[in-house]
Amino acid sequence: MGLREYIIRRIIMIIPIIIGAIILIFAVVQLIPPGSRALLYVRTERDLQFLDQIIKAHKLDASPVEQFADWLRQILEGNFGWTRVGRGPVLNVMFAKWPATIEIVMFAAPLTIIFGIILGVISAVHRDKLPDHITRLISIAGYSLPSFWLGLILLSLTYITTGTVITGRVSNSVQNIVKSQAWHTYTGLYTIDGIINGRFDVVLDALKHLALPVIVITTINMAGIIRLMRSSMLEALTKNYIITAKAKGLKNTKVINKHARRNALIPVVTIAGLMVAGMLSGLVITETVFAFEGVGQWAAQCATQLDIAGVIGFTIFTGLLFVISNLIVDILYAYIDPRIRLG
């Protein structure tokens, strides 16, 4: 079957899952008392004073079945409720904060993949010898580290060495620049916008503040890639075509790099897509530690302050993101490896 049929088939398989996920979230929402639940229907700030009427209007103390259709309609209209923490409608607040989070992922993801692949290959080629043990120790330590602990250590270290604590997206002086009239926002990413606006001091400042969160996220996620690359590479090295390559008289490095690695990369490259969505979990904690004004920090605050609309909205969105990246990963895999398409 061709690529197109495969894509269509996968998309069709996704639909019941999305429906089921929404039902699951709805079930979770049902656990919340009606008073708090009303926040999910609020559109404007004024509505906050009329919670009782909202409860009556959407029959929040009646049967779940009636509520479901109503709530679904709300969602489809784009009304996820009002977040106290963000002081605005959930969707708007989330979209305003996304660029910050994307900026971290933008730098962390390529670094994770590149380092992961390099270290994974080293680990596999020198299996059970010193480089392997060291690499594995690094990678296992990497994902055993609590992200908040690593973040706090890095914060402390920067204070000890430089005398200042680096938190937030930009320092105060740059903050004024960004808020001023002279600044044009194109993408919301300070690094890109800084280049477009021609203000390289902004770019530098943003990079300085991005460094630590990116280090934390990279360290923690790198381990997964290293492990996968290692086992994938080990499996590729047992394959018969490696013997053929050796029998042709090729140099050992060429055998590893040209023949084994290309085959080993196939599952890794596709898992990398999943990893990006998985970074969100780590970002919730990391952004909190560094007071980085992204979606993660907002979600953490919503959880702490029991801001129901925020938490539910965030969960639905990350769920959707996860499902879509799963889909893309599957399609990518079928594209790269023609054998998969045969079903």
Partner 1 sequence: MEIENIVDVENLMLRFYTYEGIVEALDGVNLHIKPNEILGVVGETGCGKSVTSLAILGIVMPPGRIENGKIIINVNGKQIDILKLHEEAIRKIRGKDISMVFQEPRAYLNPVYTVFDQISEVLIEHRKQEFINRALQTLKNQPKKSTITNFYISIYEKWSKNPNSLLIRFLSKIPILRRFQNPFKKELRKEVVQLLKSLGMADPERVADSYPHELSGGMAQRVVIAMALACNPTLLICDEPTTNLDVTVQAQILELIRALRAKFKSSILYITHDLGVIAELCERVAVMYAGNVVELAPVIELFKNPLHPYTRALLESIPRPGQPFKSIPGIVPSLINPPKGCRFNERCNYAMDICYKIKPKFIKVKEDHFVACHLYGE
Partner 2 sequence: MFSLRERIQKWKKAHEASIKELKFILFRIRKSPLSLLGTFIIAFYIIIAILAPILAPPQPSWDIFKNPNPFIIPDAYNSVDPTPPSPQHPFGITVEGYDIYYGCIWGTITAFRVGVMVVALSLIIGLAVGIIAGYYGGLVDEILMRLTDIIICFPGLILAMAFVVALPPALTLDAPTILIPITVVIALITLLQFLKRTSKRRAIIYLAITLVLAVVSALILLGIVPKINVVQTPLTRLDKVLIALILVGWPGYARVIRGEVLRARSEDYVEAAKAIGASDSRIIFKHIVPNTIYPILILASLDIGSIVLTAAALSFLGIGAEPSYADWGQLVQKCEPYMLGVDIVRYWYIWLIPGAFIFIFGLGWNLLGDAIRDVLDPTLRRR
Q: Which position among 8, 11, 243, 306 is part of the footprint of partner 2 (CB under 8 A)?
A: 306
Least Å from the CB of residue 242 to partner 1: 9
> What spatial distance separates the first Cα and last Cα of the chain, rounded to whole Å?
7
* 191 interacts with, out of partner 1, partner 2, none, CB within 5 to 8 A per kind: none
Q: Which does 25 bind (CB under 5 to 8 A by kind): partner 1, partner 2, none?
A: partner 2
Task: Give whole-number Cα distances, 244 to 240, 256, 257, in Å.
Answer: 7, 12, 15
- Which region, judged by CB under 8 A, interacts with partner 1, from 5-13, 189-197, 262-270, 296-304? 262-270
Q: Does 338 bind partner 1 (CB under 8 A)?
A: yes
Contact call for residues 118 and 265 (beta carbons, < 8 A): no
Mode of pairing for the β-strands spanning 88-89 and 82-83: antiparallel
d(CA 109, CA 139): 16
CA distance 120 to 237: 13
84 three-state secondary structure: coil
Which residues lie closer than 8 Å to 106 by C-beta, 6 or more apart? 189
3-state helix, strand, coil in the chain (%, to 5): 80, 0, 20
| Interactions with partner 2, residue window 1-30 (CB under 8 A) | 16-17, 20-21, 23-25, 28-29
Please select the residue that binds partner 2; options are 174, 271, 284, 309, rule is CB under 8 A. Answer: 284
Contact segment (CB under 8 A) with partner 1 among 59-67, 173-181, 190-198, 258-266 equals 258-266
Q: How far is the CB of 21 from partner 2 (least distance, A)?
A: 5
Nearer to partner 2, 194 or 282 (CB): 282
Which 204-243 residues touch partner 1, going by CB under 8 A? 239-241, 243
CA distance 186 to 94: 17
CA distance 308 to 83: 8
Sole binder of partner 1 in the list 94, 214, 245, 308 (CB under 8 A): 245
Handedness of CA 280, 281, 282, 284 (dihedral sign): positive
Nearer to partner 2, 218 or 288 (CB): 288
Residue 69 exposed, middle or buried by CB count within 10 Å (0-12, 13-18, 19+): exposed
Report the interface residues with partner 2, using CB under 8 A: 16-17, 20-21, 23-25, 28-29, 31-33, 62-66, 128, 133, 136-137, 140-141, 143-149, 152-153, 155-156, 159-160, 165, 167, 227, 231, 234-235, 238, 277-278, 280-281, 284-285, 288-289, 291, 299-300, 303-304, 306, 308, 311-312, 314-315, 318-319, 322-323, 326
- The residues of the shown chain that bind partner 1, judged by CB under 8 A, are 239-241, 243-252, 259, 262-263, 266, 338-339
